[in-house]
Amino acid sequence: MLCSAADHLAIGGPEAVWYGLDFVPALWLLLLALISMGALWFLGHRRIAMIGAFLSLGYFLAFGDISPTPLTSLWNGRAASGRVLSVSALNVRYYSEGFREVMDAIRTMNADVVLLSENTMDSTQVSELPSLLPNYKYCPGHQNSTAILSRLPLLSFQEIDLPSHEASLSGGNDVAEMSSHPHRSFTHAQVLFQNMPVNVISIRFIAGRPKDHTWEENVKWGKYLIAEQGAEVAAFPGYLAGLRGPIVFGGDLNAPPRSKTLKPLEAIAHDAYLSDHFWGDLTFRTEFPTLRLDYLFGMNGAVPVRSRVVRVVVSDHFPVSAEFRLDEQPERMVSQRIN
């Protein structure tokens, strides 16, 4: 916990031996610590156990996936009447659980906009979309990347390159060969919601597996992922700064809350799930969830008022859904929030 806290506080920098420990969820460390303190208690070391338990709880309060925002929202009436846009995000895991099953889940979620990650929809599946989702327009990025489904009028759509390179979704990856791969990307659509242009962005930060299971390759690949996610999250807010009007973005961000990857985004945007929950729910591994990796964020006048994790099994991720109130006057321009 001390090493993780040092990493959270950016003590030592990239050369520190604890660099990257902020990717270990604080809840995991809290549970391990409480088990250890319980053992000390039953062994008769009760004073040490009590001190350790209080320190562990303090660590979790400082760096855990929790927020007092729901109380603030209730006090300020955040869920008051207004124009409410519904958005869902789902890592479809290259439709490994079935294409029609994913489409059925999307239809049931009934969101205005759906952000897809790990999208591998082929031409045959695209031809089926009008019958499966008759009210949605399909806006894809390149294969294996992200896509957007919208039942709102589409004003514009574009795919934006990230500085990182494509990693295999299912196989191993060699760090030495990554620079020869195509650039990764995210997708951006501007939709019209009740006469207001709204920016919706589907993004997935890099992840993947090392080329083999040796300790050396695992460490090398882990350091590579942290560096590449850092480059992605350094570039992404700069793109947001050039946009006007409300912005909703999200997807499978492949990083736990409060980590190096998420902190810059948490600083400029509202985490939708923590807007009406005290702690983040787990979204990854539907059989036995262990991590929160899937997010929706709102900024620049898109204020989350309700959110949920959708307990439907069509991937190894649960979908996340949220509703956003769109203020007539954006709370602040993006560039002001970043500065």
Residues 186 and 217 in one domain: yes
Query: What is the model's pLDDT at position 70?
Result: 63
| Averaged pLDDT, 312-320 | 97
Is 143 in contact with 162 (CB distance < 8 Å)?
no
58 Cβ contact list (under 8 Å, min separation 6): none
DSSP assignment, residue 66?
B
For the beta carbon of residue 173, count every other beta carbon within 10 angstroms.
22
Place 334 in a pLDDT band, splitting at 50, 70 and 90: very low
Q: Are residues 24 and 172 in the same domain?
A: no
Residues 207 and 320 in one domain: yes
- The answer to whether residues 12 and 147 belong to one domain is no
Verify that 132 and 112 share a domain, yes or no: yes
Give mean pLDDT, residues 190-218: 95
Q: Give yes or no: residues 53 and 200 share one domain.
A: no
Based on the structure, what is the number of domains in the chain? Answer: 2
> Strands, E, within 35-174: which ranges?
83-91, 113-119, 137-140, 145-150, 154-165, 172-173
Q: Looking at 15, 46, 63, which one is the last position of a domain?
A: 63
Residues 92 and 120 occupy one common structural domain: yes
> For the domain that residue 109 is a member of, what is the CATH number?
3.60.10.10
Quick: pLDDT tens for 246-277: 999 999 999 999 999 999 999 999 999 998 89
Q: Among candidates 123, 117, 201, 94, which has minimal Cα distance to 158?
A: 201
Mark whether 17 and 114 lie in a shared domain. Answer: no
The torsion defined by the Cα of 140, 142, 143 and 149, in degrees rounded to 10, comes to -10
Q: Is the pLDDT of residue 72 over 70?
A: no
Domain that holds residue 39: 2-63
Would the pLDDT of 30 be above 50? Answer: yes
Q: What is the mean pLDDT of residues 30-41?
A: 95
Q: What is the pLDDT of residue 332?
A: 42
Q: Could you tell me if 121 and 28 lie in one domain?
A: no
Q: What amino acid occupies position 281?
A: D
Q: For position 339, what pLDDT does the model report?
A: 30
pLDDT digits (tens, 9 = 90+) for 212-227: 989 999 999 999 999 9
Alpha carbon distance 224, 202 (integer Å) = 23
What is the percent of the chain where pLDDT is above 70? 92
Domain boundary among 34, 63, 92: 63
Six-digit token pair at 190?
């501007």
Count CB neighbours of 81 within 10 A.
7
- Copy the structure tokens of residue 213: 């299971």
Query: Cβ–Cβ contacts within 10 Å for residue 169, how many?
Result: 14
Determine if the pTM surpasses 0.85.
yes
Could you tell me which of 293, 246, 247 has the C-alpha nearest to residue 273?
293
161 and 34 belong to one structural domain: no
**What's the first-to-final CA gap in the chain, in angstroms?**
31
Please check whether residues 159 and 188 belong to one and the same domain: yes
Tell me: pLDDT of 88 over 50: yes
pLDDT at 67: 87
Contacts of 244 (CB under 8 A, 6+ apart): 300, 333, 334
Answer yes or no: is pLDDT of 327 > 90. no
| Distance in angstroms (rounded) separating the CA atoms of residues 157 and 150 | 11
Last residue of a domain, one of 63, 83, 109: 63
Say whether both 231 and 328 belong to one domain.
yes
Q: In which element (H, E) is residue 52 found?
A: helix 46-63
Among candidate residues 77, 133, 74, the one with its CA nearest the CA of residue 105: 133
Average pLDDT, the chain: 91
